[in-house]
Structure 1
Amino acid sequence: MAEAELSHLGVAEDEELVYRSALRSPGLGAEALALAAGLDTDELRAVLERLESAGMVTTADGQGIVATDPFVVTERLVESRLTELQAEIQRVIASRHVVNALLDEQRNGRRQSPPEGVERVEGADRVRARIDELAFFAHHELLSVQPNGPLSTAAIEGAKEADMRALRRGLTMQTIMRTDALHDQQTADYLAELRARGAQVRTLDGPLERMLIFDRRTALVPMDPRESGRGALVVHQPGMISSLITLFDRFWEAAKDLDQEHLAEIEQQVLRTMVRVEKDEAGARELGISVRTYRGHIAHLLRRLNATHRAQGVLAARDRGWL
């Protein structure tokens, strides 16, 4: 064991020093051990009391001070530390009830919103934080329209964590993009990853209206469509929500699934790897992605190819010129 390795297991620095000295020189008396550890006798006695209480050393008349076997000590310390951590986790979990009090505070604040059920959120950072909050508390569905074509790196990085978290929680996600967004490889790859995780993505030519709708109960739209950086309006009023949902449904019906002839770069890599590599684990490792993501891409590719199994998918991909 290297020096100070036991501190994360709850052992103080002077306790570890004495224990190590007793390991290196078993059977020393108190005065000799104090000298070996660089402590005075009184300090050593206090440390030894703690070590004996923890079962790390034993003292016996005529045998001096003997360190307990390191395997036994380490197992005891790990078990004790894990018990402490589990108790801490339980205390943290038990404290989650505080969210109810915080939500009450939030609702009290929201009562100050305009009577028509619309709140203003100004500034890009506050808008992003509000979107994250609404997505976190959504339970069923997230509908979105992104009208400005390709997504910037900052936009993808800002949305990715919340999007993936929502999909892991089982939310239905429907996203509409402008068709020319697919001309940007970074955007196409991000949309491919969303689809692989279960999101539904469609594209539409022509003008679109930016919107996010959470559980068909709350919506977020830009304060000024021509200058989205100014801020956003969070809509709660049922009549306005209904109108936005109707508009979204019209866009969705008119939109098309992502271009069937378009393959994102990651999909091209997965397809080529699937042909060469038999085991999914090896294929995922070669591409540097998780097995779950790798299999998600394969499942999506098979759906696009109308194939029921991989061999049929390979033949269909060759017919389309994808291989």
Structure 2
Amino acid sequence: MTDEPTAAERALYLATVRRGGHLRPDDLAPADRPTLAVLVARGLLTPTATGYTAVNPRAVGDRLGTELRTRATRLLVHTESLPTALAPLTRAYDAVPRASSRTGEATHIEGNADIRQRITELLSDCKEEFLAAQPGRRPLDALRMALAQDLALLKRGCAMRILYQPVTVTDRTAQRQILLRTGQGAQVRVLDEPYQRVMIFDRTVAVIPAAEDATRAAFLTDPAAIAFLVAHFERDWSRATPADHHLNPPPPTTTRIGRLLARGLTQRAVATRLGLSERTVAAHISRLRDRYGAQTLFQLGWQLRGERDD
């Protein structure tokens, strides 16, 4: 039985209300008997000497709401105590040496369910750093499913850096998912260029697609291969812009200054063009450098290369 009445239950209850709140056995069709039993079990109808009487749904809702809150509280308490209860098993698991693959050897796993299961295990084992490059649109269901484990990883003190393409961060629901992670310390950047999908765990295991339809993945442990993938990730990371640039647009004046800088104008030329002091323009440029993660004006110009003046 679900928490909410079905269409048949609602119809029978409303029919009872229309009869003045009373339902006689003669008013029931044989097919209504199972629905009647459920309404009585819910407490929306109560038996009387002559039939059944409708109960105020508000009272029933308050009672069910209290029961659900109590159930939710118990589940939350159980969730908090579960890691402690499993701690001895976790320590035993961590104490077992992991057999590493031979140099150049990769483990291939087929099937989305098996791939997700292995990635879940790697996330649970991750202790220091998780890197991910996720090109293309990121499915919202995947973001939601991974949220709890991502937050648990961040809570353990692991670093998390994720690359997305603009197509992901334009979706408002995806933006909320990203903010839930960045609010807990994750770093997210956006790169408007082609790049390859990869996940790297503690710089010891890397996962890359092994089939175009993503139904097969290669799990790499060779240090040279992982170093190569990390170097590519760091190169792409340095060219990407912080997610804040896409999630929270800067003030119009700052945007205007950025566009003029992207056209090659100097700080003084920008100040003259907009009728601002050089000090004001310098302050806006400083905010742009922070926003784009640029250490120099050259890097800022590179990050702003896609901007155009109106």
TM-score after normalising by structure 1: 0.47
| Rg (Cα) greater in structure | 1
TM-score after normalising by structure 2: 0.49
